[in-house]
Amino acid sequence: MKTVRIAMLGSGFVAEFYMQGLANVNGQQVVLNYSRSRERAESFAGKWGIAEATTGLERAVCCNDIDLFVIALPNEEHESTAIALAQAGRNQVCTKPLGRNRREAEAMWRAAEKGGALHGYAETEVFAPAVTKARETIENGGIGRVLWVRSRESHSGPHSPHFWDVAKTGGGALNDLGCHCIEAARYFYGKDDAVVEVMAWGDRLVHHGKTEGEDNALLMLKFSGGGIAHCELSWTTRGGLDLRNEIHGSEGSIFTDVTRGTPLRAFTPQPAGYVVEKADIDFGWTQPLPEEAFAYGYQAEMRHFVECARNGETPRETYHDGYVVNCILDAGYESMRKGGWVRVKS
């Protein structure tokens, strides 16, 4: 088995999850970490046993012995990094959302296509085991024709200060969390059933003075086949990450609940360590989530992208998918401003 050599671009929250996911993937080795901070690059490399750490992005891009570059950088770095990799003909995977807006996402997608190398959109939701099993049930005709999808992603707010700056990220809770729910809905319906129209509401209900973006949002998706989906997004929900899906069909329904339906409950009068992503407390009654990276889909998506890089195959999530999601998000923000249904431009 050829060992796929990986460069991890970034050393923050999502890069940590990618490393956790890769830990259970055979036939790969992360050999380089790039970070904008020398201290963070060296700390990250030391923690994960990565041979080389650098603060020079150009140095990383020019490495000819790297088989796959994983972009785990803040949103404002995605476009320039992806285009540099594309121009160098490098295989690349980028975290969500692909761009801060439709324009950036299209530039990334077009550049990657022109470069001719692999490009993968790292949307964990559609690699989560519960979600892929739900899709398998749909494909096997278990619930008939999909009619309505409800998807919820909420927590008490971003972990890093830069996420609150909408100029750097592209938006608030809709942009940050809506990308997951949109792609889940597309996955459940099937990508041939396009999202053609959206309606959205968003407001800043709690975090006044901390962000100019919305900390709560609702997004309705209308599909070309007549189906509907609605997405619930929040940066003000306490108790840890809330990640749920409902898929209702003409003959049955499917429910997924990764974080609130864990197989483990605990009561600890004292703090007892990490519980779940965005948990507000680590004592009292808690529902710890075992193997988070596996449950969220990080392990499955990293295995998929590594295998695609090894075998020269096209990933099932590409930059085109990320571009479509950004088009839907942009239409959502337009709907917020106008207060009605908006056609999705692609």
Count other Cβ atoms within 10 Å, centred on residue 38. 11
Comparing CA positions, the residue from 71, 100, 56 lying closest to residue 12 is 71
Quote the pLDDT of residue 3: 97
Quote the pLDDT of residue 283: 92
Mean of pLDDT values over 195-217: 97
Contact 48, 74 (CB under 8 A): no
pLDDT at residue 110 above 90?
yes
pLDDT tens for 129-162 read 999 999 999 999 999 999 999 999 999 999 888 8
Distances (CA, A) of 37 to 11, 40, 42, 55, 294: 9, 5, 9, 6, 29
Q: How confident is the model at residue 280 (pLDDT cuts 50, 70, 90)?
A: confident
Comparing CA positions, the residue from 15, 8, 22, 5 lying closest to residue 300 is 22
Quote the pLDDT of residue 114: 98
**Which residue(s) pair with 231 in the sheet?**
151, 219
Contact 146, 138 (CB under 8 A): yes
Residue 311 corresponds to which tokens in the numbers above?
A: 């075998």
Say how far apart CA 336 and CA 220 lie, in whole Å: 11
Please state which CATH class domain 4-123+298-318 belongs to. Answer: alpha beta
Domain 126-292+327-343, CATH among 3.30.360.10, 1.20.1370.10, 3.30.2350.10, 3.40.50.970? 3.30.360.10
Quote the pLDDT of residue 160: 87
Q: How far apart are the first and last CA of the chain?
A: 40
Mean of pLDDT values over 190-204: 98
Quote the pLDDT of residue 272: 85
Angle CA 302–73–187, to nearest 5: 45
Give me the numbers of helices (H) and strands (E) for the chain, helices first please.
11, 15
pTM confidence score = 0.96
pLDDT at residue 111 above 90?
yes
Q: What is the mean pLDDT of the chain?
A: 96
Quote the pLDDT of residue 95: 98
pLDDT at residue 68 above 90?
yes
Mean of pLDDT values over 268-294: 91
Q: What are phi and psi of 29, to 5 degrees?
A: -150, 125
Q: Where are the domains of the chain?
A: 4-123+298-318, 126-292+327-343
Per cent of the chain over pLDDT 90 is: 92
pLDDT tens for 70-92 read 999 999 999 999 999 999 999 99
